Amino acid sequence: MPWFWRGLREGVVTTPYPKQSDPYADAFPAAVAVREDAPAITAEAAEGLCPTGAITADPASRTARVDRGRCILCGHCTRGRPDVFSLAHGAESAVTGRSSLTVPQLEETDEALAATRRELARRTGAFRRSLHIRHVDAGSDGSEEWEILALLNPVYDIHRLGMFFTASPRHADVLLVTGAAARGMAAPLRRTYEATAQPVVVIAAGTDACSGGIYGDSYATHDDGIRDVVDVDIWVPGSPPSPFSLLHALLLATGRLSASGKEAEA
């Protein structure tokens, strides 16, 4: 009975996203960005700012670049060089190409990224309003799993969008993979991928899955995340990514978001 009165008192808590914007999602600091007015920085100074090697600088132009696929959001760069780096707000951080995780982006990649989006839309057009997800832990530290679990609570409630988790890859449309691609999980991950009906969308969820993160290039993990084991379609940076970022990736997988981030027509 107390839950009944609490429900009446608090009203609807489910986010209106993606039909409408969500203030929390819009304000969430999901990534690191390079300031537009950033001064030049040497390659040596840039490399010393990041424990995972996510920051580089062009030797000629001395322009800083951040690989969000390697960034663990420790904040060391924004504290050490606030004149160069800042937190980028907005949880829609998932992308359809690994190169898009590097900012500032290179203009010559735009055409290739557009082609990638068109191909993904062609493959996933049948999913739309019904999506079954198989989560695979390929050596996670557990942080991403808490965010994935949140997708099922009343705030995010992905069931309202026709999205469901399944225990069998044979019933799945999407593989949501977390973890740094531990070598012991390479064969199970590959078998899961091969058991999933085609077309299947693979989402690399979190920095560890995108690049190996802080565990990358070790005896226990693959050097570049899960893409050494399976083909990845959507990349979600963050350590861990927020539930909104994961939801954004799932909406991209179904073709329900346009390239501008707005909900596409049914």
Strand (E) positions, the chain?
29-34, 55-57, 64-67, 85-89, 102-103, 131-137, 163-165, 174-178, 201-205, 234-236
245 & 191 share domain? yes
CATH number at residue 187: 3.40.50.12280
Q: What is the pLDDT of residues 161-193, one digit of tens each?
A: 999 999 999 999 999 999 999 999 999 999 999
Q: What does the pLDDT look like over 56-104, one tens digit per residue? A: 998 888 999 999 999 999 999 999 999 999 999 999 999 988 988 999 8
* 101 occurs within a structural domain: no
Q: Is residue 231 part of a domain?
A: yes
The continuous run of DSSP H or E covering 120 comes out as helix 110-124
**Residues 76, 125 within the same domain:** no
Domain count, the chain: 2
Is residue 23, in this structure, part of any structural domain at all?
no
Q: What is the CA radius of gyration of the chain?
A: 19
Cα 233 to the chain's mean position, in Å? 11
Pairing of strands 234-236, 201-205: parallel
Instruction: Output 50 or 10, whichever has higher pLDDT.
Output: 50
Average pLDDT for 211-228: 86
Q: Taking a C-beta distance cutoff of 8 angstroms, is the pair 174, 134 a contact?
A: yes
CA angle 110–175–186, rounded 5-degree value? 100
Q: What is the DSSP track for 195-263?
A: HSPSS-EEEEESHHHHH-GGG-SSSSB-TTGGGGTS--SEEE-SSSPPHHHHHHHHHHHTT-B-TTSSB
Answer whether residue 259 is part of any domain: no
Position 266 confidence tier, pLDDT thresholds 50, 70, 90: very low
**82 and 113 share one domain:** no
Rounded Cα–Cα distance for residues 130 and 195 (Å): 19
Residue 140 domain flag? yes
Q: Which of 61, 89, 117 is the last residue before a domain boundary?
A: 89
Q: Are 123 and 246 members of one domain?
A: yes
Three-class SS of residue 77? helix
Nearest-5° Cα angle at 235, 203 to 174: 15
CATH number for position 54 = 3.30.70.20
Residues 85 and 112 grouped into a single domain? no
Domain holding 37, by residue range, is: 29-89
Based on the domain organization, do 145 and 247 belong to the same domain? yes
| In the predicted structure, residue 136 carries a pLDDT above the cut 80 | yes
Task: Select from 230, 184, 169, 168 the least CA-distant residue to 204.
Answer: 230
Q: Could you give the maximum distance between any two Cα atoms of the chain, in Å? A: 68
Pair (80, 122) in one structural domain: no
Domain check: are 84 and 158 in the same one?
Answer: no
**Within a domain: 4:** no
Do 80 and 189 fall within a single domain?
A: no
192 and 226 fall within a common domain: yes
Distance of CA 237 to the CA centre of its chain: 4
Q: Is the residue at 156 inside a domain?
A: yes
Handedness of CA 73, 149, 16, 98 (dihedral sign): positive
Same domain (yes/no): 124, 244 = yes
Quick one: 42 and 138 in the same domain? no
